[in-house]
């Protein structure tokens, strides 16, 4: 236990802790967007519980992976080589997770742009996804995102205590932000499409990394932040236009 908290006596460790916490929170955004979009397809009374279970599984998975750091490091060892490219278990998991994410994002985009599917679902009153199916899909992506998160943590510090605290803080932030984010996405259809675009880009990034093409995550998140800023400006513009239109109707009525 003393070794676990040994970093508390090292002033430089706090900078590493703060950096890793921020990094883990940013990495958790991908996971949270997927959970929010997926659980919004469930009946209203099941959505909050599904988010809590999904994020709880993310925490358990991350802590479980931290408990097997030696095994995690072993996942990066080459398994086989194809046309000069070495592939490890980590690469295969990233490729599989990326393909799954691209498939899910593409499917959701199709449902968003095809009004026939939505009208049929609304007319029949059918639930678009079952609770168990949602949890299974969240579990699959939790594994991919958790692996990426823990490997990033291992690369930044060798203090287990720092990694555990950073992971717990990041998942706590995810838990607090889950419901507000899901409600915001649900109330703004254009945000749904933007979020699906993010997931499509993240899926492509995971596949590229699995094939050995490293892409700096800073570029990805900078692009996401810029796109979110543009969409925020569009939302403000639409709301102002709606207010001005309503004010014009009121003036005309008087």
Q: What is the tens place of the pLDDT at every residue in 5-48?
A: 566 666 677 777 888 888 788 878 888 888 888 898 888 889 99
- Same domain for 22 and 53, yes or no, is yes
Among the residue ranges 76-90, 120-134, 198-212, 218-232, the one predicted with the least confidence is: 120-134
> Based on the domain organization, do 125 and 242 belong to the same domain?
no
- For residues 209 and 225, state if they share a domain: no
Q: Which two tokens stand for residue 216?
A: 């700096």
Q: Are residues 62 and 149 in the same domain?
A: yes
Residues 149, 243, single domain; the answer is no
Mean pLDDT rounded to a whole number for the chain: 80
Residue 91 has pLDDT above 80, yes or no: yes
Whether the predicted pLDDT of 3 surpasses 60: no
Find out whether 50 and 131 touch, Cβ atoms under 8 Å.
yes
Give one word for 114, left, alpha or beta, with left for phi > 0 and alpha for psi -120 to 50: beta
Select, from the ranges 46-60, 81-95, 155-169, the one with the highest average predicted confidence (pLDDT): 46-60
User: Is the pLDDT reported for residue 211 higher than 70?
Assistant: yes
Q: Where are the beta strands (DSSP E) in 95-157?
A: none
User: Residue 171: which of 9, 40, 62, 50 has the closest Cα?
Assistant: 62
Which range of residues forms the domain containing residue 231?
Answer: 218-254
One domain for residues 91 and 49 = yes
Check pLDDT > 70 for residue 92: yes
Residue 181 falls inside a structural domain? yes
**Structural domain contains residue 175:** yes
In terms of pLDDT, which residue wins out, 171 or 68?
Answer: 171
Same domain, 25 and 67: yes
Question: How much of the chain exceeds pLDDT 90, in percent?
Answer: 4
For residues 203 and 98, the answer to whether their CB atoms sit within 8 Å is yes
Please report whether residue 98 resides in a domain.
yes
51/135 Cα distance (integer angstroms):
9
Residue range 199-209: mean pLDDT, rounded: 88
67: three-class secondary structure by DSSP: coil
**Does any domain span residue 120?**
yes
Q: Which of 165, 168, 169, 159 is nearest to 6 (CA)?
A: 159
HEC per residue, 151-217: HHHHHHCCCHHHHHHHHHHHHHHHHHHHHHHHHHHHHCHHHHHHHHHHHHHHHHHHHHHHCCCCCCH
Same domain assignment for residues 105 and 196: yes
Mean of the pLDDT values across residues 99-107?
88
Min mean pLDDT across 80-84, 101-105, 177-181 is at 80-84
User: For the chain, what is the domain count?
Assistant: 2
Percentage of the chain modeled with pLDDT above 70: 86
Residue 220: per-residue pLDDT: 80
pLDDT value at residue 6: 60
- Rounded Cα distance between 184 and 3, Å, is 43
pLDDT score recorded for residue 51: 92
Nearest to 57 by CA among 31, 75, 36: 31
Res. 129: pLDDT tops 70: yes
Say if CB 203 and CB 102 are below 8 A apart. Answer: yes
Same domain, yes or no, for 178 and 200?
yes
Provide mean pLDDT across the span 102-122: 70
pLDDT at residue 9 in the model: 66
Q: Are residues 72 and 110 in the same domain?
A: yes
d(CA 212, CA 161): 30
- Looking at residue 250, what is its pLDDT? 60
Same domain, 146 and 210: yes
Q: Give whichever of 75-79, 110-114, 163-167 has the largest mean pLDDT.
A: 163-167
Among 226, 207, 160, smallest CA distance to 5 is for: 160
pLDDT of residue 122: 46
- Residue 124's pLDDT is 41
Residues 235, 165 share a domain: no
The answer to the question of residue 4 being in a domain is no
């Amino acid at each position: 236990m003393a070794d676990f908290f040994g970093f508390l006596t090292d002033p430089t460790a706090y900078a590493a802790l703060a950096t890793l916490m921020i990094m883990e929170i940013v990495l958790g955004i991908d996971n949270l967007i997927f959970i929010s979009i997926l659980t919004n397809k469930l009946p209203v009374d099941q959505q909050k519980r599904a988010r809590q279970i999904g994020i709880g599984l993310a925490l358990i998975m991350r802590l479980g992976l931290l408990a097997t750091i030696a095994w995690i490091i072993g996942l990066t060892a080459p398994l086989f080589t194809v046309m000069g490219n070495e592939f490890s278990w980590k690469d295969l998991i990233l490729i599989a997770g990326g393909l799954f994410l691209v498939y899910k994002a593409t499917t959701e985009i199709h449902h968003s742009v095809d009004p026939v599917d939505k009208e049929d679902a609304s007319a029949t009153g059918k639930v678009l996804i079952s609770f168990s199916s949602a949890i299974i899909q969240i579990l699959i992506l939790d594994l991919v995102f958790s692996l990426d998160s823990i490997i990033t943590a291992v690369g930044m510090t060798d203090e287990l205590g720092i990694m555990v605290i950073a992971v717990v803080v990041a998942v706590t932030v995810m838990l607090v932000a889950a419901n507000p984010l899901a409600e915001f996405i649900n109330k703004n259809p254009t945000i749904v499409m933007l979020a699906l675009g993010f997931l499509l880009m993240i899926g492509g990034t995971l596949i590229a990394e699995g094939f050995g093409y490293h892409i700096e995550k800073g570029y990805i998140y900078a692009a996401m932040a810029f796109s979110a800023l543009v969409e925020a400006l569009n939302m403000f513009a639409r709301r102002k236009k709606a207010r001005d239109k309503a004010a014009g109707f009121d003036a005309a009525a008087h």
